[in-house]
Structure 1
């Protein structure tokens, strides 16, 4: 990311900054922050899994906090926007992938999930390797050029080429299934790059082999699927990928070598072995709520322009085995919900109410694919429009952070607001230190970006000892039973994180103009092509 330093002349012209500073700033305390995390990460809540009792207890807790603050229920008089889901699980018959006559069982060297649509599948097809599987010629990616894909299976590398701007790469990678579908593919075989396996090992991926898949259901009863033409997909470990590349014009090793180089873009070609695919799937229905509340604004002229503060409430529930089986999710994402509740109190108790109304949302099913936020984005609970989003997801609060990464900020005028908030707190703005993680598309704000809404998501940075503690958390505690309140939390850092997000949201709410995408920005042009654009500084 690139954030330009404000000149003195520019700073003098920023009336929005002056407006933000006029509002009396509330106090943010470590104790208040800790109290929310302590409850939400308690064993009583059984890991807050979507659709289960523990999540419903957490939802009730958030609703009562909203009510205590005098907020208004936002879902037609209710605190709960009920989201209908379809859960799909693999059936009793083993799922298998056969490559050139060699069969691979699910959970070993191939990973296969259930089908959203078809209870029983027996499919076969020719396979074409398509590099990283990216189709965006205007951005320099044309992996399908000259390849005949229609009715075939595509094999592709995970992620995106090294050196690609992380947010662009993350977006394009998230669109791979749609791109393959547009070219007529019926299935996808994903091959992890060496870098991706270092970040997320095959052994860790195997732990999710039997997990169900979830999708929300539209009002007409159709389960949402961004690429329904892709009838199956699987991930391949090295032995299965090598079988697929038997007799190929380029070896798997050569392709993976090129993918490790900056700008490396392996070209596509037809593979010799065909594949056969079998699985059965079972579907069940469930519901789980987004918890939504509104703080009305003070300016009637801005009453239909909402600022959304959002955090996901769900986590991964209870494991099948082990002495400690509860995935408490203290950092992920009790800390994000705590941030939202502390900011909500600051907004609600301020002697000067924000000019724009504030919509608060604790959303469900983030861990299942950003589903609760997607449902909220496509099924609004307010009559007006959301003009800006501040997302709160897993701040790693193990140290006194002195810098933050502001995902999404440089694409719109939100960037200037983030700069001012950070400057007021003597917090630096840093580049994305983990572009390979594709974080821009992996949290709930992205569902609103896809609906054309400027959004920002802060991550605690790597300075002041943060790199070691952040990366240790990811490798040791992330999505494990050890993500619990026993971690050495820096509760004052939690209060600090709440304050910086308050300053950002408060200025969005009080600014004379709603956030605007910058002219010629990829995301603004892609998702809000007709919206009025601002000139980048």
Structure 2
């Protein structure tokens, strides 16, 4: 039996098309219906490349059909197929630290976590160690952690995160670039030591529990997995307890280094460690096929129809893994809720036929490292240019929120559009309440930002009951089997989240001017240096 065809036929037969209205009414039960289907046990957590994910993809495609959207796939379907490589460790890895005239061998996950390699079946590196603070090599931005250091041919040790007081979006970007910066300095491997703040937010036992899945990446036509830091042979995270003797042997107590990093503006200086390390591990690979689900709505204005506003939401979750009675990770909030609200916004936008064209994409592989979004951003399907993007990822819908946080809004002329959308929806905009999480680089919109596209990513805010509800979800349910339909969903909140995103998308798609980076935006200068910029807004 063809499961995709069966699911599509059932959905098409049961989909009712409401009458056109000037101001769309977002139905909380419609959001609930999508989440109920996508988070059902039958989809087994929608892991990339799994049968459950394929059923979810068919569901989304059938919804696009019902909306009258056009398929964007190269074969006339709604699917952009890609190969995803899964890499797992083959046996226990070995990290040997040589200092103080002795060798300390670490292989237990209580001491070290080694990331599998997508590019090498076997890895063996042996080199001196050098500590580079937070590992930022951007003197032009005031970060010069490699000053006076020789990292060529060496293993670089860095702290996790970024200095306190750094603008959160800039810090998140630089944090995601550490391996690339180390590579450009000639390093061959990177070892990360969590800061005090990072350890408090993500204790080591939780870090271990989250590390049992494979490393993932998309594979090109040449059969090689894409990698940005090709010169970095291996990466590992070292438990601070295991790292302390290493620093002590160099006369630099780790406690003092971490205390400096924990101070606002603190930037521990780098130094050559009086030690060397060897890191060795083997990998097994499994290549699977998955797909992005992509549709387009042609613009109604011939002069603007070649410009696309993108809407994205990741469709995957993390499947079945772990130990215990319940190992199925349904991903109801992450990200069935985001896909559900995107679908309802798409339905309303499709009825309105805005001036610009709109691209709708349910993406694979977000949980494995923004894989589907990176593939789509580098291999575009639309016949035109994506000029702005709105991303939907894990709105926490357990409370009726009164504010939203719009990551990226201050970087471009999308900001005023979001502010107006929030006003129309009867809510307010708030600044990032969790800069330490570095959320700006952790969802699919960021792969489009790296291709020069202005983007925003909204989350439900912290006003009123928001902070407790959001933090409780992150602490108890995020990437846990308990992220399921037993959560106390507030479906009215889902309708409100759809509404504010609808006003945002429609404002972008009907605007006289395409979104533009502000002249002072770091991201505009970094990724779209040749693009026309807008004057910075008055402070």
With the shorter chain as reference, the TM-score category is over 0.9
Q: How does 1:93-104 map to 2 (within 5 A)?
A: 94-100=92-98, 101-104=103-106
Give the drift of 1:208: 3.1
Partners of 1:66 and 1:296 in 2: CA distance = 14
**Paired residue secondary structure (2:328):** coil
Partners of 2:459 and 2:358 in 1: CA distance = 22
Is 420-429 or 329-338 further displaced after alignment?
420-429
Partners of 2:123 and 2:307 in 1: CA distance = 47
TM-score (norm 2): 0.94
TM-score (norm 1): 0.94
Give the drift of 1:184: 0.3
Aligned to 2:432: 432
Partners of 1:238 and 1:96 in 2: CA distance = 17
Partners of 2:397 and 2:194 in 1: CA distance = 30
Is 293-302 or 213-222 further displaced after alignment?
213-222
Aligned to 1:447: 447
Give the drift of 1:239: 2.4
Aligned to 2:18: none
Specify which of 316, 321, 324 is matched with residue 323 of structure 2.
321
Aligned to 2:259: 257
- Contact 1:246/1:272, CA 8 A, preserved across alignment: no
Specify which of 186, 189, 214 is matched with residue 187 of structure 1.
189
Partners of 2:322 and 2:181 in 1: CA distance = 36
Q: CA RMSD in A?
A: 1.1
- Contact 1:107/1:209, CA 8 A, preserved across alignment: no
**Paired residue secondary structure (2:289):** strand
**Paired residue secondary structure (1:275):** strand
Partners of 1:190 and 1:397 in 2: CA distance = 34
Specify which of 272, 281, 290 is matched with residue 274 of structure 2.
272
Partners of 2:166 and 2:428 in 1: CA distance = 24
Aligned to 2:461: 461
Aligned to 1:20: none
Partners of 1:336 and 1:121 in 2: CA distance = 38
Aligned to 1:125: 127
**Paired residue secondary structure (2:162):** coil
Q: What stretches of structure 1 of length at least 5 have no aligned partner?
A: 1-22
Partners of 2:281 and 2:179 in 1: CA distance = 19
**Paired residue secondary structure (2:359):** strand
Give the drift of 1:60: 0.6
- Contact 1:396/1:460, CA 8 A, preserved across alignment: yes
Aligned to 2:369: 369
Specify which of 13, 23, 26 is matched with residue 24 of structure 2.
26
- Contact 1:107/1:206, CA 8 A, preserved across alignment: yes
Is 419-428 or 438-447 further displaced after alignment?
419-428
Give the drift of 1:25: 2.0
CA offsets 1:41-71 (integer angstroms, 9 cap, x no match): 0001000000111111100100111111111
Give the drift of 1:320: 4.1
Question: Is structure 2 residue 246 aligned with structure 1 residue 244?
Answer: yes
Give the drift of 1:218: 1.8
Aligned to 2:73: 75
- Contact 1:113/1:210, CA 8 A, preserved across alignment: no
Give the number of aligned pairs.
512
Highest relative contact order (Cα 8 Å, sep 6+), 1 or 2? 1
- Contact 1:106/1:112, CA 8 A, preserved across alignment: no
Give the drift of 1:323: 1.8
- Contact 1:86/1:217, CA 8 A, preserved across alignment: yes
Partners of 1:220 and 1:234 in 2: CA distance = 27
Partners of 1:61 and 1:318 in 2: CA distance = 20
